[in-house]
Amino acid sequence: MAIATALREGHGRESVFGFRGEPAAAERIEDAGFKIIPVNDFGNWEFGIESAVILDLRIPLEQSFFERAKAADKLLVSIDDPTPNRLHCDLAFYPPVPQFHELEWTLPDNTTYGGTIYRGWEFIPLRKEFFPTEKKRATSYPPQILITMGGSDPHSLTLKILHALKSVSGEWRAEVVIGPMFNNLDKIDRIAVEHGKQVELLHDIKNISRPMQKCDAAIASFGMTAYELAACGVPQLLLCLSEDHARSASALHASGAAVSLGKFDRISEQKLAAELQNFIFDQVALQS
């Protein structure tokens, strides 16, 4: 959606989303004023007057899709695509993650990829609100922490973090982003009550950049949120849902933009509490 917004605001071009996914995600797209065409099978997509087709998918498409796109003279663009789709695209964009070096760029007919590859932090599609113009303020005391684990938090990492914070000594405050598809709100509500005024739950957040820009540090699950936090200049502690996410997060870790703890199920509660203690109060020490 960041790309569609940039095309609209910067170039006066509208976008249509061929969409297959969760209703909550579709609602966000429509709320932003974009048209959605529900798609059950992308192989049956009918090309229209669009100048370009941007593929942000993780499913391989049939050869016929690309043949029809070429016949219709469409510019094909892929975003961080590990599937063979990328080999048929004119432009391919990637963040500087280690998995990129393992991608094969030889086509089935043994010819070399003929498009253009762009790789770097600057090619991650982020909305403009994640690039604040104001200089970041000094760390507050007690430090203000943002906890954000995505829209659904399928592994209840929010709850895991709130439990571990019980063992963190010293003063801190936390804002916890509650996604639209959370399924354990009763448990989160109970532990938030136990924490008292230290924890505030944020529901129905329309612009996540605002709490990002006012916090001192963040605890997040790896994903686009991690790149958004990095763009806002927010120190972050990352938990990862998969080994692939852990490898991608290692690039942020190596750059100094984050501390990645790796895959979430390999971190004990005791280890997590110790990491939280060090991370939260290192932010204070760095500013003192």
Q: Residue 1's pLDDT is what?
A: 87
Q: Residue 91's pLDDT is what?
A: 97
In the DSSP assignment, the letter for residue 255 is H
Number of Cβ atoms within 10 Å of the Cβ of 217: 23
- Structural domains for the chain: 2-128 (no CATH), 133-287 (3.40.50.2000)
Q: Residue 286's pLDDT is what?
A: 46
Q: Residue 181's pLDDT is what?
A: 86
Q: Is the pTM of this model over 0.85?
A: yes
Q: Residue 186's pLDDT is what?
A: 95
Q: State the DSSP string of 59-118.
A: SPPPHHHHHHHHHTT-EEEEES--SGGGGG-SEEEE-S-GGGGG---B-TTSPBP-SEEE
Q: Residue 64's pLDDT is what?
A: 92
* Three-class secondary structure of residue 208 per DSSP: coil
Angle at 283 between CA 279 and CA 285, to 5 degrees: 110
Q: Residue 282's pLDDT is what?
A: 82
- Sites in the chain below the pLDDT cut of 70: 133-138, 283-288
Two structure tokens written together for 76: 């094909």
Bridge partners of 19, per DSSP, are 38
Residues 6+ apart with CB under 8 A from 36: 16, 17, 19, 26, 29, 30
Q: Residue 58's pLDDT is what?
A: 87
Residue 188 belongs to what H/E stretch? helix 185-195
**Is 42 in contact with 56 (CB distance < 8 Å)?**
no
